[in-house]
């Protein structure tokens, strides 16, 4: 039975656990580096595409209440938001 509520952190933790414990070895190769992977944090089912949107929609069609987490393959961060590099100061 599905839990009624998982925090964002819990969804991320579970999805990353699936990724580290098996998915990574299957998907981290030249063709997939830089693409987005969307993981169902409850089942470990996943899909890969350029933006993650198509995969997320497909997973939601199969399971509307799925808790999904999307990340970029081969990188620690999926998105970064503007700012100043750490070695520079703002004037």
The stretch 47-59 carries a mean pLDDT of 94
The reported pLDDT for the residue numbered 15 is 94
CA-angle at 67, arms to 61 and 71, nearest 5°: 100
The reported pLDDT for the residue numbered 2 is 53
Helix (H) or strand (E) holding 68: strand 68-72
- Which of these ranges, 44-53, 54-63, 75-84, has the smallest mean pLDDT? 75-84
* pLDDT at position 84 over 70: no
The stretch 19-38 carries a mean pLDDT of 93
* pLDDT at position 21 over 70: yes
Integer CA distances (angstroms), 44 to 12, 21, 24, 83, in order: 12, 10, 12, 34
List the domain boundaries for the chain: 8-72
CA-angle at 71, arms to 67 and 72, nearest 5°: 160
The stretch 4-32 carries a mean pLDDT of 91
Question: Which DSSP symbol is given to 37?
Answer: E
The reported pLDDT for the residue numbered 4 is 67
């Amino acid at each position: 039975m599905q839990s009624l509520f998982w925090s964002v952190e819990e969804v991320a933790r579970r999805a990353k656990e699936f990724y580290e414990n098996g998915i990574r070895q299957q998907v981290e190769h030249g063709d997939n580096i830089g693409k987005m992977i969307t993981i169902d944090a409850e089942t470990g089912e996943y899909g890969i595409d350029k933006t993650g949107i198509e995969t997320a929609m497909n997973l939601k069609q199969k399971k509307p209440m799925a808790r999904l987490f999307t990340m970029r393959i081969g990188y620690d961060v999926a998105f970064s938001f503007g700012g100043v590099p750490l070695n520079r100061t703002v004037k």
